[in-house]
Structure 1
Amino acid sequence: MPTLWTGTLAVVVFFVGAIDRGCLTPVQPGESWGYVDVRDGAHMFWWLYYANSSSASYKELPLVMWLQGGPGGSSCGFGNFEEIGPLDRDLNPRKTSWVQASSVLFVDNPVGTGYSYTDTEEALTKNVTMIASDMLVLLKHFFSLKKEFQTIPFYIFSESYGGKMAAAISLELTKAIGQGAIKCNFSGVALGDSWISPIDSVMTWGPYLYSTSLLDDYGLREVNSAAMAVQQAVDQGQFEKATELWSVTESVVEQNTNNVNFYNILTQENDELLKSGTEQGYLALLKRHHVRPLHRRSLSELMNGPIRNKLHVIPKNVVWGGQAEAVFSSMAEDFMRPVVDIVDQLLAAGVYVTVYNGQLDLIVDTIGQEQWVKQLKWPGIQSFNQMKWTALEDPSAAGQTGAFYKTYKNFAFYWILKAGHMIPSDQGPMALRMLRMVTRQD
């Protein structure tokens, strides 16, 4: 039987001044964390922040689970301290934290990510089916432990590869609830800059970069040619080969754009860790581009130092992010597989599905997202496509448009302006407003 280890604090704390001073000051109530053994040799870590609102108790606000990308990116680390948690990486209060509008559950998922770990590499997940199975074990224990959340609206929000995992998890969760295996009030899933149909992203890289003047005609031909090779591998069901060719296509993009930042085309990547081209092989390059950016040195020092000391439950042999690259490697064959059919099944089951995407994201560009959405077999997609979108004012800039959105029945799409792959980092106020709209608070 899986076991559950937990830790709790009466208050959320943050460190004042430099980390090495270790000065603690209480900020707000409501925080707990723990481990669940989801399989033999597979241990998953979760971290809950109760909602902290001046106008409502946590029982009157939704519960949101945040899933990071990679695969191998840590929700408890990157999502928490870089995007939506109550404190930023410097341990200062975040003005746009999602904790002010919902309770937030961070899970280091899949096993081997962040503080989660496996006893052997053989226990790492190989595909989203295994990931969903593990998560259902965790959620069953979480809602058994935290019975107060069983009736509170529960949403899954995600980013990047986390969206692919979120779709699979949501489908299995819906089935489990129907069978009475889990007690929770599942109310919807939000797929942010999500790896739902990888090939639609790859095939639109060239046109997107060309339309933004980041490729010339020669570069467009080169990128499109490399992308076609990926398409052929996917069509033939050679998904590990497709992952390798995807890496080749990334290199072609970089060579023709003077190293465009895949996460935000208007920013330059200056991280020396990412520029060290000493590793060989496509998996090494992919991990350098898409796993290590989620484990920057300053964040690693925080998670392996003050935060680890605060939690008191991290085993001595576990290093935050220590298995992240192994997680990515283990998922290589599954990486380029689409899950559009799962989104269709969710919509058919009546699950509320939201897609949201950053205007400046390249790795999961918006036009690629629009491509797979148009392929949905859901009967409502024709009516959705014929609708006109609605502008949303930027909460941080009166009179300026921050996003567009449209919704039909149980499907919605948000186009977030001036944001890259990590929307809450780039456009925090707009992301917070979107959260409130999706969770029916606005």
Structure 2
Amino acid sequence: MAAVPHVLALPFPAQGHVIPLMQLSHRLVEHGIEVAFVNAEANHALVLDAMAADDGAGRSSSLDADGIHLVGVPDGLADGDDRKDLGKLVDAFSRHMPGHLEELVERIEASGGTKISWLIADEAMGWALEVAKKLGIRSACFWPGSAAFLASTFRIPQLIQDGVIDEKGWPKRQETFQFAVGMPPLHTSRLSWNNAGAPENQPTIFQLVIRSNEAKDLAENIICNSFVDAEPGAFELYPNILPIGPLFTDDLQLKKPVGQFLPEDTRCLEWLDAQPDRSVVYVAFGSFTVFDPCQFEELALGLELTGRPFLWVVRPDFTAGLSKAWLDAFRHRQRVLAHRAVACFVSHCGWNSTMEGVRNGVPFLCWPYFTDQFQNESYICNVWKAGLAVAPGADGVVTKEELSGKVERVLGDDGIRERVGVLRDAARRSVAEGGSSHGNFKKFVELLKG
């Protein structure tokens, strides 16, 4: 009888990368594969704390998430360092994590554990594929974003050759381009590697992209959290990217920890249950978006101006410098926080959120913040025509009138609702028995067990 495959799963150390790889890991465990999930230590601690808060247990009570063994390795940053500073984070983990990953593999195998047979690494952690090759471990790439985003990074040599960008990744001309029919049009000012925080971080981010793309050839497979009908142009352009999504965990049989960095607040469910179908405006901006107090207030007042019930997920660090008295007064006027009653999704357009909205057939109001979110917005508005985008004023602020007006336009557009319904049905078919994503996932499991 063949030995049970033992897989190390390594995400890029950010919330939007951890969750889909954890979702994939749960599915692998269901198919008899042993998984050790390797977070950066700081994120590992956050995940354990969130799990403990969600189940009411002490943090030390569980180092496992329903069959997945959770492990932490240092990322090279100190406790007080800002891990939302992508340049600093990328520089640190690129230098420190390879050695720590190597030591972890040696430690697991020396302790009598099952020999590591596979590494599934986030494509943005290409250095890990180099470690796997050195240690004689087979490897696969997992991409948590859109195939179009990955394709845009693969096309960097062509973009340089065509004179669209220079050798450092900066645009040489201002234009909108499209890699293939059916792919989202993208303006040169919105390239992901140039929109990942402060401009001084760009060289570090760009070099990570280049290194990861070179290392990807060490992997036997590239799997992606998307589905064929959402991105036919991208998958035709790069047929070696295999879609296995949309990955999800919110159906009844899969209520499992997915690597959340913050505990989930489920108190809103009773309130949502009392709302009519498709009546609630759902607002969530992911783990990185930060608004200044002025924009925060306009968003809050714009939601109030819609006159509709809304559910707004607000992280503790979503804005700084806002008057506590103002926020308390606003909370007293409104009931905030996630379900079926949702009519519209005001979103930063992170890919996880985009796939969740698509799978549930919810129209979008797009408000991208950085990296690939502008490309995802282009998919939603220009290709799928499943939503609209907010338009900031000359001062960069999206006004309350702009927000409330666009919400009404999205909710009043029957064409948008019809198109998101078609997309929803295609997403569900893809992961059902006989669907393209379902078939690709089965092939991937067979590869790991081979």
Q: TM-score range by the shorter chain?
A: 0.3 to 0.5
| Bigger share in helix | 2
| Bigger share in strand | 1
TM-score (norm 1): 0.36
TM-score (norm 2): 0.35
